[in-house]
Chains A and B, each alone.
Chain A
Amino acid sequence: MNMQKSRPGFRRRAVLAGVGLAALLAVVPAFAQDPSGELVILQWQGGTDGEMWLKLEADFVAKNPGVTTRELVITAQGDARGGIRTALIGGEKVDVVINTWPAFRAELADSGILRPIDDLWASAGLDSVLDQSWKDLGSTNGVTYGVNYTYGDRSAVWYKKAHLEKAGVEPPKTWDEFVASLDKLKAAGFATPIAMPGKYWAHGEWFETLLLRTGGVEASNALARHEIKWTDDIVKTTLKKYAELLKAGCCGTPEQMFAGDWDYSADQIFTADAANYLLIGMWMNSRARNDYKLNEGVDYSIFQFPALGLGHDDTSSVDAKEVLATTNGANPSAADAFLVYMVSADAAKILAGYGYASPSKNADPSMLGPVQQVATAAVAQSKVQFVLGDLLPGDLVDEYRVQLQKFLQDPSDATIDTVTAAIEAKAQELY
């Protein structure tokens, strides 16, 4: 009897409990997704970029009041990877890592430091925010790790408008026009029209875009994977094109080229008015606007690397920055929220304010300044290839840059043979 009486009551309670549990389960994820607590970001960017990051973090915190952010700052001159590795090996717990090197992401992923974000990508609907190509760029071995939040054209030549006007030069479209413009600029009093930063790595920029324009994306990719040798004719032809510039007296003496890095070269154009062209990434835009206080598109601009006419002029070198989530971070929900935030319209607006383009479909292109609009349009119309130097094994990059310095010292055919053989010898050890 009791049992009979109790059964309907049990059923009712069971049903109510089931409904309650279902309601609870429906509500719990909503709470779980609500990020709170401290979000630790491994930060290696300084100057204006560092300032931009503080703004991004402040905006993220404003939208997620339960979260606080803390930057674990790595100070590095040049390549920050050593500092990042040291911090991570040293046991630092961080939720988010900023990265710009695909090969480094692979290294971090192999060592189990990165958390795959395929589930996040699906649940946050990032497919509707970023094109598949950006997802592919943020993936290693088919697993997605990175959310690309900015990208830049690395085949853009920067110039100060007043210099070209003084020399009566229009932004050159072809290689011949470009080489011819060097003489006009020299005649106008600029002894070294191209500011060539040969001290560390930036002299490789010219080689890398010339390689793209000589052999296309396929050749550049093949070289990155060592499917073609460094002694291949494509590499030698590229260096011979590079030699044309040097022989035309583009860049002063090798000693002048070796004396400065990209920032010194930028100073030579934008503050010293001593040089005219600089091939460098889009971070230059931020420097020109914020450090030199120049008006984008008015005082300075860019033109896309001149066409060589070798069948690959629709190519551009690009770089990108991504945010990665770690496995050892204490706050994965905040990390996930931050990754999604970085491709939001609000983040894109802050990025645009500092002269950076976002790959997000949420980004409003009209927010970009005129120079960034030229760059993004050029990239959109190009077959793109990630910066070669960031795809090569570390040892090889080192050798490649030193051998390119030797080439700058003496751009003869004999040197081209020597330096390509030396890079190839190093590559043979590493692949």
Chain B
Amino acid sequence: MQETVASDAAGSRTKFSSRPGGERHALLATGWRVRDWPAAWLLIAPVLILFGIAVVFPLIETIRLSFFDIKGLGRPKYVGLGNYVKLFTDPAFRNTLSTTLIFTLSTTAISVGLGWLLAMLSAFSPRHTLPFRVMIFAAFGISEAVAGYMWIGILRPDSGGLLNAVIGLFQPGFAQPWLGDPRTGLWVLIVAASWGGVGLPLMLCFAAVQAIPKSLFEAAYIDGATHGQVMRNIMMPLSMPGVRVSIFINLLGALRAFDIIYILTGGGPVRSTETVGYFMYRESMTQFKLGYGAAATVILLVAVLFVSIPAIIQRTAGAR
């Protein structure tokens, strides 16, 4: 079946490449594209309008706001690139850049790494691991806010916290303020944020492994390969497309993370868990410095584009 699909796709490509420019000519000769333009635009218009209202307009407005100094409900004052200059001289913002980098890379590494590993292990016994996979994937469907409150229960600093209570079984009276320590707060937050992110890489990588032709496994086992060798030399390399998509999605999610930080730490203690996303919220919504917050948003947007564009180019190139 996979071979059939692959050969179909190859056939399609051959058809187009054998007639360079032919398609364009044919279309213009029959004139269907010109005739169908109104209908095409009519069909695409609702999407374009919605996209314009929901994405393009807010984006342009955010960029415009970033050139203004707006304090509270006061009158906006044009400051050009002033907000950007101020941002990069603001120690609090510089601190958020490194925190964001650590948070983003770590949550992505943990989520994707663990998801990938679990997918590999699950692939050896798909039927028996189904409930397990469903449970892990269900965590992906839980909103960050709900997950945040669940983690508050787990990480409560007194002995009533679930984690402290479990450790307390071996060490009575144990009470560690997990989120209260500026040295460890970020790492605990990373673990909490990664928890919900494992499900998607697990499913994507598992699907990628399922797509590997069975003949490859059979050949490997006939040649005497162990499970470990099969996993290392067949499953892992051939599940890389799933890993790449997972990395891309997790990086974007981590860059934009807000809910769980807001609920668990509020960016503290001593701003040790403040990411760009949280900084943006604090400046825009707490201080109501909309221009300054918008400038931080634009920088976050650039970071997101920096991650997205190569991935999109790669995916687009792959589709061709």
Contact = CB atoms under 8 A, between A and B. Distances in A.
Contacts of B286: 79, 81-82, 394, 398
B72 A85 contact: yes
Interface string B275-288: 00000001011111
Contacts of A406: 270
B177 A258 contact: yes
B269 A260 contact: no
B158 A253 contact: no
Contact of A256 (B180, B270, B284, B289): B180
Interface string A13-47: 00000000000000000000000000000000000
Nearest to B173: A191
Contact of B182 (A88, A89, A258, A272): A258
Interface stretch (A105-113, A294-302, A312-320, A341-349): A105-113
A89 B73 contact: yes
- Chain A interface size band reads 35 or more
Contact of A199 (B73, B160, B266): B266
B157 interface: yes
A258 B180 CA distance: 5
A183 B45 CA distance: 74
A77 B262 contact: yes
Contacts of B288: 81-82, 85, 394
A107 B270 contact: no
B268 interface: yes
A73 B270 CA distance: 31
A257 B271 contact: no
Interface in B247-287: 262-263, 266, 268-271, 282, 284-287
Interface string A103-140: 00001101101000000000000000000000000000
A81 B102 CA distance: 31
A257 B158 CA distance: 12
B266 to A, nearest CB: 6
A198 interface: yes
A178 to B, nearest CB: 25
Contacts of B262: 77
B284 to A, nearest CB: 8
Q: Which of B73, B74, B158, B185 has the most CB of A within 10 A?
A: B73
Nearest to B183: A255
A405 interface: yes
B179 interface: yes
Interface in A237-280: 253-260, 264, 268, 272, 274
Contacts of A260: 157, 180
Interface in A71-90: 77-79, 81-83, 85-86, 88-89
B74 to A, nearest CB: 7
Nearest to A395: B287
Interface in A362-410: 394-395, 398, 402, 405-406, 409
Nearest to B86: A429
A200 interface: yes
Contacts of B282: 398
Given A81-B288, A82-B286, A259-B177, A272 B73 contact: no
Interface string B141-172: 00000000000000001101000000000000
Contact of B285 (A86, A255, A274): A86
Contacts of B285: 82-83, 86
B73 A398 contact: no
B218 interface: no
B270 A402 contact: yes
Interface in B59-81: 72-74
A262 to B, nearest CB: 13
B268 A255 contact: no
Given A253-B177, A256-B177, A274-B158, A199 B269 contact: yes
B30 to A, nearest CB: 51
B181 interface: yes
B6 to A, nearest CB: 52
A256 B266 contact: no
Contacts of B185: 258
Contacts of A272: 158, 160
Nearest to B266: A200
Interface string B124-141: 000000000000000000
Q: Which of A77, A258, A259 has the most CB of B within 10 A?
A: A259
A405 B179 contact: no
Given A256-B180, A398-B282, A409-B270, A111 B74 contact: yes
Interface in A167-200: 198-200
A257 B179 CA distance: 11
A382 B147 CA distance: 46
A111 B270 contact: no
Contacts of A405: 268-270
Contacts of A268: 158
Contact of A111 (B72, B178, B268): B72
Contacts of B179: 258-259
Contacts of B289: 395
A154 to B, nearest CB: 21
B75 to A, nearest CB: 8
B268 A199 contact: yes
A258 B160 CA distance: 17
Interface in B174-215: 177-182, 185
Contacts of B263: 77
B144 to A, nearest CB: 14
A5 B157 CA distance: 97
A109 to B, nearest CB: 10
14 contacts: A82-B284, A85-B73, A88-B73, A107-B73, A108-B73, A199-B266, A199-B269, A254-B269, A259-B180, A264-B157, A394-B288, A402-B270, A402-B271, A409-B182
Given A199-B180, A258-B179, 6 more contacts: A77-B262, A79-B286, A85-B73, A111-B73, A113-B73, A260-B180
Interface of A: 77-79, 81-83, 85-86, 88-89, 107-108, 110-111, 113, 198-200, 253-260, 264, 268, 272, 274, 394-395, 398, 402, 405-406, 409
Interface of B: 72-74, 157-158, 160, 177-182, 185, 262-263, 266, 268-271, 282, 284-289
Nearest 5 pairs between A and B by C-beta? A259-B180, A259-B177, A258-B269, A259-B157, A82-B285
